[in-house]
Amino acid sequence: MPLPSNTAALPWADRFQAVRQRSLALCAPLAIEDHVPQPVDYVSPPKWHLAHATWFFETLVLPRLRPGLPRHHPRYDYLFNSYYESLGQRVARAQRGTLSRPTVAEILAYRAQVDAWMLAALRQDDVPQATLDLITLGLQHEQQHQELLLTDIKFILGHNPLMPPYAVAEVADIEPAREHVGEATAPLNWHEIAGGTHEIGHIGEGFCFDNEQERHTCHLRPFRIASRLVSNQEYMAFMADGGYQRAEFWHAEAWDWLAAEGVQAPMYWFRHPDAPGSWWHYSLAGAEPLPPHAPVSHLSHYEACAYAQWAGARLPTEFEWEASAPRLDWGQRWEWTDSAYKPYPGFKKAAGAVGEYNGKFMVNQQVLRGASFATPPGHARPTYRNFFHPHLRWQYTGIRLTRDD
């Protein structure tokens, strides 16, 4: 089901239903067996995503709408809590793939029950604004999981030796043919961004996560930022020049990561036995020749920094990126920045479980800006702060260069 680009314009019940149905649509092409695997600890099984997003509404929202409502299942709190310490113990993240039960059918029944309770309340009650704000957070949370869901599905299928395609037609506004659309055929130009003070952070009446606040003034030196992302072809030139073998381009920790993991190319790239010398990759449509002009994707922060060093440039800070955003064509790849994920001046964590949403992760992670092919419609904005550990690359992550000269 395609998601309207502006769900905020819909009545609350319709808004809720549109987001919830999109999660089901993303899983529609999967076999039952595809819902269960967890190949690595940072990838969650699709059925866990479906259940966890439902658990959020049952645990945090329904008690406000229907006090005293019985829980759907007494153990689902333990199974589907993600990281909320204030809400009790939970299955360890790396063990989500061991949950053969509840079955997919039982999880779908769980979603249907919670949705019925939520929709009944949204259609009949005069819901307080504070609860509507929490429902909005829950819908934004589910949209975050929709992006994770799609990239986790790609990891599960793409690391299967059969490399099965995910879908051959439009699914929930995801068109596999657009996953690697070329955008690097035009010359790479450099936008001149003036130095001085720039306002950073969310402004206006629309939704934002707490980590996008408080809006504040940032002083920047003049810089130049690339008009487009680095392409596959440009990244191949780095590889051909021994980029993965030359320590001078890599941070020490990154060089150790290369040795430990044996990384020699972006995730999903491989040499096809029937096409010697050429690079192929796994896409949602299956195994395909690598499109040279599409933006390079599935890179770690380590790889992005090494490429920038090789190219005689650097990654932008998140503040430079946001100041440049009005002049950029962004949204196809999450763009690594050179900024550590830290709180803005004046940031305050909310009380209770909601306060665990972002603030406690503000250490040892890098900020990414923009959005990606997998980001749900209407979910992106220029102040959005994504964040991951620097070695991770299963998301649609790419490179935009910056220069000071």
> What CA–CA distance (Å, rounded) separates 371 from 386?
9
pLDDT at 1: 32
Closest by Cα among 101, 94, 112, 105 to 57: 112
Q: Give the DSSP letter string of 241-287.
A: TTTTT-GGGS-HHHHHHHHHHT--S-TTEEE-TTSTT-EEEEETTEE
Confidence of residue 184 (pLDDT cuts 50, 70, 90): low
Dist. CA 47–CA 156, nearest whole Å: 13
Whether 186 has a pLDDT exceeding 80, the answer reads: no
Overall average pLDDT of the 289-307 stretch:
97
91: helix, coil or strand?
coil
The pLDDT of residue 178 is 87
Cβ neighbors of 245 (< 8 A, separation 6 or more) are none
Arithmetic mean of pLDDT, 21-32:
96
Structure-token match 């770690």, residue found? 300
Collapse the DSSP code of 237 into the 3-class scheme (helix H, G, I; strand E, B; otherwise coil) and give the result. Answer: helix
pLDDT grade for 4, boundaries at 50, 70 and 90: very low
pLDDT of 60:
96
Q: Under DSSP, is residue 125 helix (H, G, I), strand (E, B) or coil?
A: coil
Judged by average pLDDT, the poorest of 161-170, 261-270, 315-324, 370-379 is 161-170
How much is the mean pLDDT over the chain?
94
**7 pLDDT exceeds 80?**
no
Taking residues 57-81, report their average pLDDT: 96
> In a 3-state reduction of DSSP, which class is residue 193?
strand
